[in-house]
Structure 1
Amino acid sequence: MSRGVVYALAGLFLAAAFRPLGAAELSFAIGHPPQSYLVRGGEVFAAALRQETGGEVTARVYAMSLLSLAETSPGLRAGLADIGVVLTTYQAGEYPATNLIHDASMVLDRFSSLPRRLKGAAYAPAMAEFILTRCPECVAEFARQNQVYTGAAATTPYALSCVRPVRSVAELRGARLRVGGANWARWAEAMKAVPVTMAGNEMLEALTQRIVDCVVLSLPDVRNFGLSGSIRSITADVPGGVYVAAFANVNRDVWRRLTAAQRRAVLKATAWGTATANWAYSEGEQQVIGQTMAAGGTVHEADAAVREASARFTETDLGRLAEIYAAQGVARSRQMLDEFLPILERWALRVGHVSSAEELADIYWQDLYSKVDVSDPGR
């Protein structure tokens, strides 16, 4: 093939890559079951995107079908989906800077005046703001995976949902706990329990076959993943911390083909989608507790000794996070944590008295997503 032909083909490829998208339906992969709150948020995202673009750009949600949770990050990179919910802890080596902030979520224990049900609703926008405005390393991590980060959704605080009571130091010792992140694995080890890592869609079988004693999970996700029938005992107040998902990452090639107005519409839809998911989590916790008790299960707090040990762990671990992630190549780890915590404090105050998903969406849009610069097609 002549050099001239090669250059011509390259030019055609680049022209196609940067051609405006025009009217299009974007595939939105969510590796959660159809009944989950993330899928509910995704459907609201799709409705908002249609409205904001006048139907020119739409999104179709694929719940637990197009890509699994573990497949979404590489699937977006390869263009198998246009948009996706990415769980960065599933590919920890690819997102160390992002996961540093994710792993700090147990610091929410310090915010005693913030209602438990709203802790995720505060942490998600704080983390999104930090990534979008203060963390070029995080943005670069997503870019290397051919993704554009747009925002975050979060659970309520994590609890112990178990096949048997696990409340005391003695009951925790040796218990096998399914964990979904490095911070909860470290907590389990500090409590002399055994952390077990597995994908979310493997939890039901693990509980049914008694491969694990507990799942470390938000209470609404007990229902979202269909685990309610296997849970006999909930310890609601430990370990704490929330899980934060990158809610609507966009394939970078698709993002480049969106106009600035269309990108802004994606961010407006993200504000609505994340607010919907976060609010659904906030309302779902008490519903799961009620269902567990109605089915004959028990719900209780951890013993005082466990609560005290957990609080000590949280403060000690926060002090070690910078060192842990510096060893993984995050050179600014200490500075990043120092910059993030004031952002979290501001968001805790901002959302502490919200009373609806609509109010939350308006705050997210006005205070965060409307301020993101969408003019750079290569962001």
Structure 2
Amino acid sequence: MSNWIRKALCAATAVAAAATLALPAQAQNRELRYAIGQPPSALPVIGGQELAKAVAKASDGKLTVKVYAMSLLNMAETSAGLRDGIADIGFVLTPYFPAEYPHTNLISEASMMLRLMGDKVRGKEGLAYIPAMTEFIFTKCPECHQEFAKQNQVYTGHVGGSSYGLICNKPVKSEADMKGKRFRVGAANWSRWVTQMGGSPVTMSANEMLEALKQGVVDCIVLSSPEIRNFGLTEVVTDIAMGAPGGIFSTAGSNVNLKVWRSLSNEQRAALLRGAAVAAANVPFAYHRVENEVLDQMKKRGARIHDTDPALVQKSQAFIEQDMKTITDYFASKHGVKRGQQMLTEFRPILAKWVDLVQTVNTEEQYADLYWREVFSKVNPATFGMQ
């Protein structure tokens, strides 16, 4: 081959490569890695798979998502792993990281206020609280977005489950039963409640709950009933009492690595928001759909389902009322949250609105449509997370 032909071929190759790099982002197909630290059959993983389907559909296949369930990153690793680019999307359990996400956790850990809202919200706790929290963070919590940005993440909504009770390996249904026993808790609000009721709170990753209960490291787990199935606790749980403490666990279900988010086209970011809306609706709806089913299954297997002692319920209500007053002081002193009381004041009417909105929701499709219309459709993918 002559020298000039060789030079011409090299030049043509360079031009072609430059042209490829210059193609707009929407012309390039992308696959994003989504890390969820729960087992493959868990409801949040199913929600993640629904997110993936919705993203592919909304982007005409130009953007796809591959879900890694409890393989790429576990729950304790996901926040840092997403920050460092090990995953592109992550199921970030913000309550595990109080120093990194204090403003977000203030609202998350106020969820026991649901027990102060009467019977109207019973059985619909997650359906109301999760979208209320998502709307609040999108519209009224710039500090929350700053927290995520510091961790190299973009927020795309919360997910969460149903009401919390006591999942145990021995009968625990009264304050006397709680004395001296050890309770695995997933957030500071339940830790305060356990302490107030005479128990000892133990903090550990949800991935460790099975062995902890099996080996007697803890006597109970403060948890929602669907998590018995999600985390394979069926064989070790013998006693359940769901009358206290209440509240729900919520977390940032599909945060996106900031660099990845900004590398996408407007259309691809819009597709991710559409997918996030689907997952945000799917997960709490699924939790509420199966919570009684799981309890019935456990009863058939021989587990004892206890009515919580009314005195414990009453003391819990008094604790929650007080905790709503002290939670802002706790976050101010522990984590430097300066406007906690203002945040809760602004959040309450949003929650009350959502309690009303979900009263007529009977199907997941209705819930997803409501969620999209009220929250996600108002997020502009051209500007959100881009500054």
Counterpart residue number, 1:273: 279
Instruction: Say which of 144, 161, 166 aligns to 1:155.
Output: 161
Paired AA for residue 373 in structure 1: N
How far 1:197 sits from its partner (Å)? 0.6
| Equivalent of residue 370 in structure 1, options 372, 377, 381 | 377
Q: Deviations over 1:321-371 (max 9, x none)?
A: 111111121111111111011111111111123111111110100110000
- Kept in 1, the 8 Å contact 2:114–2:121? The answer is no
Query: What residue identity is the alignment partner of 1:343?
Result: I
Which has the higher Rg, Structure 1 or Structure 2?
2
Residues 47-70 of structure 1 deviation map (CA, whole Å, 9 limit, x = unaligned): 000000000001000000000011
Helix, strand or coil: the match of 1:330? coil
Q: Is the 8 A contact 1:121 1:351 kept in 2?
A: yes
What 5-or-longer segments of structure 2 have no aligned partner? 1-17
After superposing the two structures, state which structure 1 stretch, 55-64 or 257-266, moved more: 257-266
Q: Which residue of 1 aligns with 2:339?
A: 332
CA contact (8 A) 1:117 1:285 kept: no
- Is 2:141 aligned against 1:131? no
Measure how far apart 1:255 and its partner are. Answer: 0.5
Of the three residues 249, 260, 266, the one matched with 2:266 is 260
2:88 is aligned, of 82, 90, 93, to 82
In the alignment, what sits opposite 2:126? Answer: 120
1:348 to 344, 355, 358: 355
Confirm or deny: 8 A CA contact 2:25 2:265 kept in the other structure. no
Partner of 2:252: 246
CA distance, structure 2, for counterparts of residue 244 and residue 117 of structure 1 = 16
The corresponding residue for 2:9 is: none
Structure 1 residues 206 and 362: CA distance shift in structure 2, 3 A: same
CA-to-partner distance for each residue in 1:66-109, whole Å, 9 max, x for gaps? 00011111001000000011000111110011110011000001
Matched-pair identity in %: 47
**Matched position secondary structure for 2:110:** helix
AA at the equivalent of 1:270: A
Q: Which of 44, 65, 71 is matched with 2:50 structurally?
A: 44
**Structure 2 counterpart of 1:358:** 365
C-alpha offsets along residues 181-229 of structure 1, whole Å, 9 cap, x if unaligned? 0000000000010000111111111111111110001110111000011
TM-score of the superposed pair, with normalisation by structure 2? 0.92
Report deviation, 1:20: 6.3
Please tell me the root mean square deviation across aligned C-alpha atoms, in Å: 1.6
Q: Secondary structure at the match of 1:94?
A: coil
Amino acid at match of 2:159: A
Q: Secondary structure at the match of 1:302?
A: coil
Distance apart, 1:151 and its partner CA:
0.4
Residue in 2 that maps onto 1:173:
179
Equivalent AA in structure 2 for residue 369 of structure 1: F
Kept in 2, the 8 Å contact 1:95–1:138? The answer is yes
What is the distance in 2 between the residues matched to 1:293 and 1:27?
Answer: 38
Aligned residue for 2:97, secondary structure, equals helix
C-alpha deviation, 1:21, in angstroms: 8.0
SS in structure 2 at match of 1:81: coil
Deviates more, 1:47-56 or 1:321-330: 321-330
Is this contact kept in 2: 1:27–1:60, CA < 8 A? yes
Query: Which amino acid letter does the alignment assign opposite residue 340 of structure 1?
Result: F
SS where residue 167 of structure 1 aligns?
coil
Q: Which amino acid aligns with 2:161?
A: T
What does 1:91-240 correspond to in 2, within 5 Å? 91-240=97-246
Partner of 1:4: none
Q: CA deviation at 1:19?
A: 6.2
Query: 1:229 is paired with a residue of what secondary structure?
Result: coil
> Partner residue of 2:307?
301
Task: Work out the number of aligned pairs and report it.
Answer: 365
Partner of residue 31, structure 2: 25
Output the amino acid matched with 2:92.
Answer: V
* SS at structure 1 position matched to 2:119: coil
Alpha-carbon distance in 2 for matches of 1:115, 1:61: 32
Q: Once the two structures are superposed, what CA deviation does each residue of 1:268-327 show, in whole Å capped at 9, x if it has no partner? A: 111111111111101111111111110111112211110111000000001001111111
In the alignment, is the contact (CA less than 8 A) between 2:26 and 2:62 conserved in 1? no
Distance 2:121 2:298 in 1: 22
Unpaired runs of 5+ residues, structure 1, are 1-11
Measure, in 1, the Cα distance between the counterparts of 2:301 and 2:25.
Answer: 56
Report the secondary structure of 1:363's partner residue.
helix
Question: Which secondary structure does the structure 2 equivalent of 1:92 belong to?
Answer: coil
Q: Does structure 2 conserve the Cα–Cα contact (< 8 Å) formed by 1:29 and 1:72?
A: yes
In the TM superposition, what are the counterparts of 1:31-70 in structure 2 within 5 Å? 31-70=37-76
Taking structure 1 as the reference length, what is the TM-score of the superposition? Answer: 0.94
Q: Which residue of 1 aligns with 2:11?
A: none
Q: Distance in 2 between matches of 1:80 and 1:93?
A: 21
Tell me, in whole angstroms, the C-alpha distance in 1 between the residues paired with 2:124 and 2:308.
21
Determine the structure 1 residue equivalent to 2:297: 291
